Amino acid sequence: NAGVTQTPKFRILKIGQSMTLQCTQDMNHNYMYWYRQDPGMGLKLIYYSVGAGITDKGEVPNGYNVSRSTTEDFPLRLELAAPSQTSVYFCASSFSTRVGFETQYFGPGTRLLVL
Amino acid sequence: GQQLNQSPQSMFIQEGEDVSMNCTSSSIFNTWLWYKQDPGEGPVLLIALYKAGELTSNGRLTAQFGITRKDSFLNISASIPSDVGIYFCAGQLGYGNKLVFGAGTILRVKS
């Protein structure tokens, strides 16, 4: 049982390049999330999805896009990389219902440097 | 947006000492959570609190949900070297809702 996996672990991009951060979970969780973590700033929610075909913006969605064609995968797309997107990106998943809180399981993160 | 103020920002303590950290918010939360992040890894849930005034333990860790629902505390007793890491508080408004994270407390333990 791999849990939440993310690829790549580390990437350097030039300004204006694009890339996709991959996230896969094998726990059959309905909810998936993308966060970014900047030094000393905690985690901020970029986008989330409550199920296949459904996505919604979080706190800091500008410059990113997501899709959720399957339950397992939730890729994050950067179209025109900017230095402000240098960060560590975490994907998470949970089995959430309307009546309780379920643990969010985090992947190991992708460290992105935009130069 | 909502913000959580977490303090202290960092701590450097002697092995065996007790540790306290806290989180405050200007908004009320229905759930308070405490996560730990080891270097190079994602956060892992330590304790979840669901009710105002609730006190919950997980081994040497004890956390409390403040009675005003605007704060939470985490205590670690008799610290050991593997307690090193970043501790995050997080608040959730309602069921299925998104989490708001604090900036984290960096804990270093001197053996």
Per-residue tens of pLDDT for chain A, all 115 residues: 679 999 999 999 999 999 999 999 999 999 999 999 998 788 999 999 999 999 999 989 999 999 999 999 999 999 999 999 999 999 999 887 655 567 789 999 999 999 9
Q: Report chain B's mean pLDDT, rounded to a whole number.
A: 92
User: Cβ contacts (< 8 Å) between B92 and chain A: which residues?
Assistant: 101
Confidence at residue A25, expressed as pLDDT on a 0 to 100 scale: 97
Nearest to A40 among B45, B95, B103 (CB): B103
Q: How confident is the model at residue B44 (pLDDT cuts 50, 70, 90)?
A: very high
Provide the pairing of β-strand A76-78 with B10-14.
unpaired
Q: How far apart, in Å, do the first and last CA atoms of chain B sit?
A: 40
Confidence at residue A40, expressed as pLDDT on a 0 to 100 scale: 77
Backbone angles phi, psi at B82, to 5 degrees: -75, 0
Question: Cβ–Cβ of A42/B1 closer than 8 Å?
Answer: no
**Residue B48 in this model has a pLDDT that exceeds 80:** yes
Three-class secondary structure of residue A68 per DSSP: coil
Mutate to test the interface with A, among B24, B98, B105 (most CBs of A within 10 A): B98
Confidence at residue B1, expressed as pLDDT on a 0 to 100 scale: 60
Residue (of B107, B108, B81, B90) closest to B35 by Cα position: B90
Measured CA to CA, the distance from residue A57 to residue B9 in angstroms comes to: 29
DSSP lists the bridge partners of residue B10 as B106
Confidence at residue B40, expressed as pLDDT on a 0 to 100 scale: 85
Backbone angles phi, psi at B13, to 5 degrees: -125, 165
Confidence at residue A37, expressed as pLDDT on a 0 to 100 scale: 94
B55-80 pLDDT tens trace: 999 999 999 999 999 999 999 999 99
Confidence at residue B25, expressed as pLDDT on a 0 to 100 scale: 94
Confidence at residue B99, expressed as pLDDT on a 0 to 100 scale: 86
Both structure tokens of B63: 């956390």
Question: Cβ–Cβ of A109/B40 closer than 8 Å?
Answer: yes
Confidence at residue B94, expressed as pLDDT on a 0 to 100 scale: 67
Measured CA to CA, the distance from residue A81 to residue B22 in angstroms comes to: 36
DSSP lists the bridge partners of residue B76 as B19, B61
Question: Cβ–Cβ of B42/A4 closer than 8 Å?
Answer: yes
B25-37 pLDDT tens trace: 998 998 999 999 9
Confidence at residue A42, expressed as pLDDT on a 0 to 100 scale: 85
Confidence at residue A96, expressed as pLDDT on a 0 to 100 scale: 74
SS3 assignment for B15-77: CCCCEEEEEEECCCCCEEEEEEECCCCCCEEEEEECCCCCEEEECCEEEEECCCCCEEEEEEC
**Residue B90 in this model has a pLDDT that exceeds 90:** yes
